[in-house]
Chains A and B, each alone.
Chain A
Amino acid sequence: MDNQQILVFSESSDALVELLTAGRSLCGPEGRVTAVAIGPTAAAIAQDCLARGADEALVLQTPEGSRPGPEELVLGLLEAVSVASPATILVGATRTGADVMARLAQALGVPCASSCMALRRDEEGNLEIERRVYGGRFTAKQVLKGNPQVVSIPPSRFPKAEPVKDAAGSSKVLEVTLPAPRVRVQATSPRVRSSVDMTKAEIIIAAGRGIKKVEDLSMLEELAAALGGVLAGSRPLTGDVDWLPTDRRIGLSGQTVKPNLYMACGISGQIEHIVGMKGARTVVAINNDPKAPIHVESDYSVIGNLYEIVPAFLKAFEKANRS
C-alpha cells in the first residue's frame, strides 16, 4: 500500500492551493501531491499548482464559458483516481466540493469524512480526523481505514502553498469525454459580497431573528461604528432573508470568528451559530428570552428588549467617551 500519493481537488482555485499545503503536510517531502484541475481555465490552474510545488497536475480542460457541474467534475475525478491511484483524496469543503466528494465516494464505494478540522496519518497508514458533530457542540475523532481515504477540508484551514524555486512537476491531460450534462446551467450571477474580513474583526455585533425589519439593522450598524466593530448576522438574516451578505454569516455554514468582543443581539443561539463564535474572548447576549440557549454560551447576558437595550447602551457608551 502506497501511502504517499495524495490527490487534491477543489473547483475553487484558492481552496486548491490550500489543499496543496494540507497534502504536503500529510505525505512529507518524499510523497507525491497531485492536483486535479477541471474547467475552462484548468491549464492555468494546473500551472499555478505546479509552480507552488505540486508534483503533478492532472488537467481536464473544458470549452471556454463552460461550467462543469458536480456530476461532470466527478467523471474527471474518477479518471484522475484511476491514473494516480491515490492513498488519500482531499477535496475543498465548499458547497460544490461537499456535493462532489459525496458522489465521488459513492462511485468509488468508500466512506468519506466531511469538513475535517484536523487530520493526521497514524503508524498504520490510516487517516485520523477530527470533525464537528451535533451542530458543532461536540468533536468526533474518527479514523479512515483502507484506500482511498476521501476527506474534505473547509477553506482557510491551511495556508496557501507558496511558489517554490525548484518546481519540477509536470502536467498530464485527463482523457475524459464528458457527456451532455443532465443538469444544465440557465443563468448565473455573483452573490453580493462585503469587503470586510470578519475573521480579523476585533469587535463583532451580530444580529439575529430578534431584528424585526431590515431598517432596524441601522441601530446595530450605529453601535458597530461607535465601538469600531463590524456587523454580522446569524443564518436567518443572511439566508432566509438577504438582509446581510452571506459572507457576514457566523456559524457552521458561514464564518468562524474569534473577536475580542462578540455581541449577539436577538440571536437565540442555535448551535449552528455557536460554532462560529465560540472562539470569541468575551460574549455578550442581548435577548428577551431568558431560556434562549445563547445565554449559556455568554459571559454577560442582558435579558431584555434589544430595541431598548441597544440604544441605551450606545448612549451610555457615547456619554462615557465624551466626558
Chain B
Amino acid sequence: MTGSPLNILVCLKFIPDPNQLQADAEGHPDLARAPFRISTFDENAIEAGLQLAAQNGGRVFGLSVLAGAMPPRDVLLRSLAMGLEALYLVKDENKNAVGPYRLALALAGAVRAIQAAENISSFDVLITGEASADQFNAQVGPRVAVALDIPAITYATKLAIEQGKLIAHRSTENTSETLEADLPALVTVGNEINQARIPTVLQVMGASKKPVKELPIGELPGFDLEEPKDRPCLRTLDITAPPSSRKRIIVVGDNPEEMAANLLSLLGADGEVKV
C-alpha cells in the first residue's frame, strides 16, 4: 500500500437485461417483462473500484440516476453486496436528465453533492462502464469527465495508483497503451479488465444494512433542471427488432457420433459442407 486512502466513485446504470429482453407482438422491446440488472460493464467498474481500494486502501461509493421504472430493491442492493460503501440515487421522475448530454451534467452535479455529503474534497478516481448494455452509446464516461473538467482514460484494461498518479493500460483497435494521468481522473472499463465478483449470501444479507441515499435532482450543484428550449436534440422515432428466420432445429442422436453424423447430413443437404 502506498499513499493516502482513495475515494472512488463508480457510476452505474440499472437496465432491463438485454439478454432477457423479448420483442412484443409489434416487434418493440417489451421492457416491462425483462428483469433489471446492473449493466454488465458497470459490474466490471464496481470490481475495478473495489480492487483499486483493496490495493491502496480506500472506499468505493456508487451513484446512479434512475429514470423510468424503478429497479427492484434486490438489484439495487446487489451493488452494495459486491462491496460498495454506500449507494447514492438520483430519481429523475420528470425526465430532466435523459440522454447522455443531460445525464452527464446531472452526474457531475451529483458527484459534487456526494463530495459535500461525505466530506470528501474530491473523489480520486471515477469509474464507469465503457458503455451501457442497453443503449451502448459509450458517451457518458467521457462526457462526465468534460463536465467535471478532469482527465479521462477510456477502455482501460488495467489500473494502478503509483506515486499519486493513475497508471492505466488502454487498448484500442491497433495498439496497447500505458498511460499516466493526474488525479482526480475518470476511467471507463469493459469486461477485459476483470471478472466481476458474485456476492456471497452473507454479503447479500449484509447489503440491506448499508446506506442507500437519495439526492434530490433539484439540488445537484451546477445542474440546471430547466433545459433551454431550442437546444439541438436527439429523438427516438421507433425501436424495432427484425424477426429471426432461423430454423431452430435440434439435432438428435443417441450419442455424440450419431449427432455429429446427423448434423453433417443436414449441412450436406443444405449444401453448406461437402459430403
Residues 203 to 250 of chain A near chain B (Cβ within 8 Å): 203, 227, 235-236, 239-240, 246-247
A142 in contact with B234 (CB, 8 Å): yes
B143 to chain A, nearest CB (A): 4
Q: Chain B: which residue is nearest A238 at the CB level? A: B192
In this complex, the interface size class of chain B, counting residues with CB under 8 Å from chain A, is 35 or more
A298 and B232 in contact (CB under 8 A), knowing A109-B101, A183-B180? no
Is B179's beta carbon under 8 Å from chain A? Answer: yes
Are A135 and B146 in contact, CB atoms less than 8 angstroms apart?
Answer: no
B244 contact set on A, CB distance < 8 A: 296-297
B223 in the interface (beta carbon within 8 A): no
Question: Which of B249, B250, B263, B274 is close to A313, meaning CB atoms less than 8 Å apart?
Answer: B263
The reply to whether the CB of A17 lies closer than 8 angstroms to some CB of chain B is no
A188 shortest CB reach to chain B, Å: 5
Taking a contact as CB atoms under 8 Å apart, the answer to whether B100 and A102 are in contact is yes
Chain B's nearest CB lies how many Å from the CB of A2?
A: 15
A164 at the interface (CB under 8 A from B): no
Bound: A295/B177 CA distance, A: 38
Instruction: Say whether B190 faces chain A, with CB atoms less than 8 Å apart.
Output: yes
Q: Does B237 sit at the interface, judged by CB under 8 A? A: yes
* Bound complex: CA A47 to CA B104 (Å): 37
Contact pick for B250, options A182, A185, A301, CB 8 Å: A301
Q: Are B273 and A227 in contact (CB under 8 A)?
A: yes
Q: Does B200 contact A (CB under 8 A)?
A: no
CA distance A102 to B191 in the complex (A): 21
Which applies to chain B's interface (DSSP): helix, strand, loop or mixed?
Answer: mixed
Judged by a CB distance under 8 angstroms, whether B138 is at the interface is: yes
Across the interface, which residues of A come within 8 angstroms of B133, CB to CB? Answer: 134-135, 272
- A115 near B136 with CB under 8 A, answer yes
**Are B177 and A95 closer than 8 Å at their CB atoms?**
no
CA distance A189 to B176 in the complex (A): 5
How many A-B residue pairs lie within 8 Å, measured between CB atoms? 263
A66 part of interface (Cβ distance < 8 Å): no
Report the minimum CB–CB distance from A103 to chain B (whole Å): 5
Contact A271 B230 (CB under 8 A): no
- A138 and B273 form a contact (CB under 8 A): no
Tell me which of B101, B134, B242 contacts A133 (CB under 8 A). Answer: B134
Query: In the complex, what residue of chain B is closest to A283 when comparing beta carbons?
Result: B246
- CB–CB A190/B257 < 8 A: no
In the complex, how many angstroms separate the beta carbon of A275 from the nearest chain B beta carbon? 10
A85-96: contact bitstring with B at CB < 8 Å (1 yes, 0 no)?
Answer: 000000000111
Q: Which residues of B contact A299 (CB under 8 A)?
A: 246-249
Give every chain B residue within 8 A of A148 (Cβ-Cβ).
Answer: 232
Main secondary structure of the interface of A (DSSP, over half): mixed
Does the CB pair B250–A133 fall under 8 Å?
A: no
Question: Does the CB pair B260–A184 fall under 8 Å?
Answer: no
Please determine whether A114 and B139 come into contact, CB atoms closer than 8 angstroms: yes
Asked if A199 lies at the interface with its beta carbon under 8 angstroms from chain B, I say: no
- Give the complex CA separation of A300 and B272 in angstroms: 12
Residues on the A chain within 8 Å of B181, using CB: 182-184
Complex alpha-carbon distance, A142 and B234, angstroms: 7
Q: Tell me the B residues contacting A by CB distance below 8 Å.
A: 18-19, 21, 23, 29, 99-101, 104, 133-143, 145-147, 150-155, 167, 171-182, 185, 190-192, 195, 230-242, 244, 246-251, 256-257, 259-261, 263-264, 266-268, 270, 272-275
4 other A-B residue contacts (CB within 8 Å) besides A102-B137, A112-B100: A102-B100, A114-B136, A133-B135, A284-B267
**A residues apposed to B, CB below 8 Å:** 12, 69-71, 94-96, 98-99, 101-103, 105-107, 109-115, 128, 132-149, 182-191, 193, 203, 227, 235-236, 239-240, 246-247, 252-253, 260-261, 270-272, 281-284, 293, 295-305, 308-309, 312-313, 315-317, 320-321
Could you give 23 example pairs across A and B, Cβ below 8 Å? Answer: A96-B172, A98-B138, A98-B139, A103-B146, A109-B101, A111-B232, A111-B233, A111-B234, A132-B136, A134-B133, A138-B240, A143-B235, A143-B237, A144-B234, A188-B177, A260-B272, A272-B133, A283-B246, A302-B260, A304-B259, A305-B256, A312-B259, A320-B275
